[in-house]
Structure formats: structure tokens, C-alpha cells
Amino acid sequence: MRVILLGPPGAGKGTQARMLSDLAGVPQVASGDLLRAAVQKKTPLGREVADILARGDLVGDETVVKLIEDRLDGPDAARGFILDGFPRSVPQAELLDGMLTRRGIRIDRALAVMVPDGEIVKRISGRRTCRNCQTMYNVALEPPRQPGVCEKCGGELYQREDDSEQTVQHRLDVYNASTKPLLEYYSRAGILSRIDGMGTPTDVEKRMVGALDGLVPKERGGSAR
């Protein structure tokens, strides 16, 4: 199963990618997570991109494509993957197509999670992420039992540097200018499904699984067609 998750910042791509990864047994490959890990570890790449992430601008296409290509060559991605946050522009999508064609594979489906702008601001301003296992919480919508502490691993919950209201607005502008054209790109390729991102994460997951049409089991422990 090779799937792309599209959608504006805060739409729930990461939340859904984790759920689908668990259901389908293929890894979530999230460009934002890979870049933030590089920033946290202060690698040469991390130092190069830290300011770009903090501003909410896009990292250069070649840099991100190289990062994703290395990740997709990992043995755990051989059976499939869920791309979360990549591609983010038409040039990235074209480079991805070339990369997959060289490997004799293709994307099965691009799922676009759609939510209104007002909901995005609400979701992002409440988001807290575990530094250790990356589990996400929302202090307004889905708070952890103990404030600031991850329920799964006890790790510290933090707020992303790019989640201030001003930066979120800029990320939305960047999405509309650079990423939204991908809806047309994948629609033309005949593999786009638009998914209503409102409701609980489980409601949204059911719509995703429906759109994946037999590529994943309908329930945990079930089998795909």
C-alpha cells in the first residue's frame, strides 16, 4: 500500500498517518518529523533548515526529496508506506514520480484531508507532541490525563515552534500557494480522494479506509483484499 496524505497544516495528516500505519503495517514517512528530528539532533541538515521550519516556509525541493528517497530505501518501506507532508509542491510530486518509476512502483491513492480554516487554528493551537514517541494530544480537544506528560511513554509534551497563530497563518498561505495545486495534479492522475476531516479521528479514519477500497483491513487484526 503506497499512499499520500495531503491537506492543510493541522488537518490531521499526522494523526491519520499513525492510525493507518498501525492498521496496515506500513510505516508513516513524515517529512516534517524527519526534518524536526534533524533540527533536534543539530545535524548539518538540521542546522540548514531550522530557521525555515520556524518561519513556516518550505525547505528546498532537492533537500526534501533526498531525505525521502533515503527513507523509502529503508527495508520497512519495501511493502508500502504512508507519505505524510510530502510531496508539498508540484516539482516535488514530479521528482517523486521519477523516483518511484525508477523502482518500478507507483502511488495507489492520494487522500486529501479537508477541514475549514477556523478548525485548523483550533487544532494547531491546542496541539502538544511527545518529545520521545511523537504521540499527539490536544489540550483543548483531547487533553492528556496528566498535563504535560505523555500517557504512552511518560515523555515530555511540547508545543511546536511553528505553531504560533501568526506562523500558522503563514503556513496556510504557503499551503494555498504551493501545495493545493497537488489536488489537481493527483485528480488528473485519477488517484485523488477528498476526505471530510471533521468529526473524531476515528470517524475520519473510517472515511480514509473506505476510500482505500480494500487496500487496508477495515479493522485492526482484519485482512486486506
State the residues that interact with ligand AP5 by CB under 6 A.
7, 9-15, 31-32, 35, 52-53, 56-59, 64, 85-88, 92, 123-124, 126-127, 136, 138, 141-142, 162, 171, 199-201, 204
Half-sphere exposure of 115 (CA within 13 A, CB side): 24
Does residue 88 carry a catalytic annotation? Answer: yes
> Of the residues 55, 160, 194, 206, which is catalytic?
160
Check 13, 109, 123, 128 and give the catalytic one: 13
Among 14, 56, 80, 87, binds Mg ion (CB under 5 A): 14
Given strand 2-6, what is the order of strands in its sheet? Answer: 28-30, 81-84, 2-6, 109-114, 192-196
HSE at residue 176, side-chain half, CA atoms within 13 A, is 7
Q: Is the bond preceding 181 in cis, omega lying within 30 degrees of 0?
A: no
Q: Sign of the C-alpha dihedral, residues 91, 94, 99, 105?
A: positive
Of 71, 109, 171, 207, the active-site residue reads 171
Q: Would you call 171 a catalytic residue per the annotation?
A: yes
> Can residue 9 be called a binding residue for Mg ion (CB under 5 A)?
no
Asked if 127 is an active-site residue, the reply is yes
Sign of dihedral through CA atoms 58, 62, 67, 73? positive
- With CB atoms as reference, the residue minimizing the distance to ligand AP5 is 32
Query: Which CB, 8 or 14, lies closer to Mg ion?
Result: 14
Q: Is 56 left (phi over 0), alpha (psi -120 to 50) or beta?
A: left
Minimal distance, residue 57 CB to ligand AP5, in Å = 6
SS3 percent helix, strand, coil of the chain, rounded to 5, is: 50, 15, 35
Residue 80: contacted member of Mg ion, ligand AP5, none (CB under 5 to 8 Å, by partner type) = none
Shortest distance (Å) from residue 126 CB to ligand AP5:
6
Name the catalytic one among 71, 88, 109, 207. Answer: 88
Q: Which residues are catalytic?
A: 13, 88, 127, 160, 171
